[in-house]
Structure 1
Amino acid sequence: MVAALELYLDTHATRRLRTLWHALEAEGIPTLASLQDSKHRPHVSLAAAARLSPDAVAEALGAVPLGRGLELDMDFVGQFVGRVVWLGITPTPELLDLHRAVHDRLAEGGVEVWEHYRPGRWVPHCTVSLRVPNPLMGPAVRRCLEILPLHATITGASITDHANDIAHALPS
């Protein structure tokens, strides 16, 4: 199971990403669109763990602003081990400052997150697919490149754990 602190994107970017998801699905490439009963929405995860208590995260974060209005630029396609394909976000000082502030507060509040989401290890990205079949990796990357560059603005934040039907909006 995966729980995450997700940042949500403006309507235009969300629409373009959903169009990408549907185009990939039509080519036999699974995306977040078909994962967990289509509960996912395009997002950027600032933190993730096997479990996150929405109340503990909200308490730890306190008044830390969660990026509403922060602008993001997706300019490249990347892959993680395990056939994960994602759109890479240019790491601006504002994004990295937000990420560090969130993790400082989570650590102070005793909220544990996975190591690869911590400052200095995190790769800013927007996941497209978690399990691209090896023979379809090339077509998946090419299709992703077709929508780049993609500009987005953060419009909200949430703690989500789709396997446990948790979607807890956070003040942003």
Structure 2
Amino acid sequence: MATIVGMPLPEPYSSTVQSVRDDLVAEFDVDPYANPFPHFSLYALADDVDVDAVEHAVAEAASAHDPFDVQTDGVGVFPGNHVWLPVARRPELTALHCDVVDALEEFETAPVPFYEPRRWFPHVGFALGLDDERAANVVEHLLDRDFEWTVEMNEITVTRPPADGERYEEVASIGL
């Protein structure tokens, strides 16, 4: 597990995503999502990183940015059958992401290359690591939902797994 620097979805979208996740657990017996805060990730770091230093770096990067809207819609599947909600890239989001990556690369390189600005694909996770049949059923189930949203993003949070390794906790919040 990793420390996640991400943009949390505000209400009512956060509750809607959590409801979808709960529904998938009940309906399809998927594992509960480890990070319970509906968000899309900007960067990931080791779980033992100095959170105060990360918060300071992110706050400095965020200070040059104002709140902005993002659009979501559809359902996607990454290799490994990870099911997610796409977040459309737009200039404001891309600029913020690049600034956050620049500020955090001094701590360490992200554990996977997909946080690099040219490879990054913003998304909100629904379910991770499903077998083929369950992934197909989950996607079919989600296609009936309306995920065409315009969401104002005005905050970056830092979340990480607690010492017991169970569910994530929010350890910092930075406004735009």
TM interval, short-chain normalised: 0.7 to 0.9
The total of aligned residue pairs comes to: 167
User: Does the CA contact (< 8 Å) of 1:68 and 1:156 recur in 2?
Assistant: no
Paired residue for 1:45? 41
Deviates more, 1:147-156 or 1:77-86: 147-156
Give deviations 1:126-152, integer Å, cap 9, x for gaps.
Answer: 111112232121221123331321332
Q: TM-score, normalised by structure 1?
A: 0.84
Paired residue for 2:21? 21
Q: TM-score, normalised by structure 2?
A: 0.82
User: Whole-Å Cα distance in 2 between the matches of residues 15 and 68 of structure 1?
Assistant: 24
- Are the structure 2 counterparts of residues 16 and 61 from structure 1 closer, same or farther at C-alpha, using a change threshold of 3 Å? closer
Letter in 2 for 1:113: A
Please list, as runs of the form range in 1=range in 2, the aligned pairs for 1:1-172 lying within 5 A after superposition: 1-30=1-30, 34-36=32-34, 40-51=36-47, 52-65=49-62, 69-107=67-105, 109-114=106-111, 115-145=113-143, 146-164=145-163, 166-172=169-175
1:117 Cα offset (Å) = 0.8
- Are the structure 2 counterparts of residues 35 and 124 from structure 1 closer, same or farther at C-alpha, using a change threshold of 3 Å? closer
- Are the structure 2 counterparts of residues 35 and 16 from structure 1 closer, same or farther at C-alpha, using a change threshold of 3 Å? closer
User: Helix, strand or coil: the match of 2:140?
Assistant: helix
Letter in 2 for 1:160: T
- Are the structure 2 counterparts of residues 143 and 152 from structure 1 closer, same or farther at C-alpha, using a change threshold of 3 Å? farther
- Are the structure 2 counterparts of residues 162 and 71 from structure 1 closer, same or farther at C-alpha, using a change threshold of 3 Å? same
User: Whole-Å Cα distance in 2 between the matches of residues 40 and 4 of structure 1?
Assistant: 12
After the TM superposition, list the runs of 4 or more consecutive aligned residues in structure 1 that deviate by more than 4 angstroms.
none
Tell me, which stretches of 5 or more residues in structure 1 are unaligned?
none
Tell me, which stretches of 5 or more residues in structure 2 are unaligned?
none
Letter in 1 for 2:27: E
Aligned-residue RMSD, C-alpha: 2.2
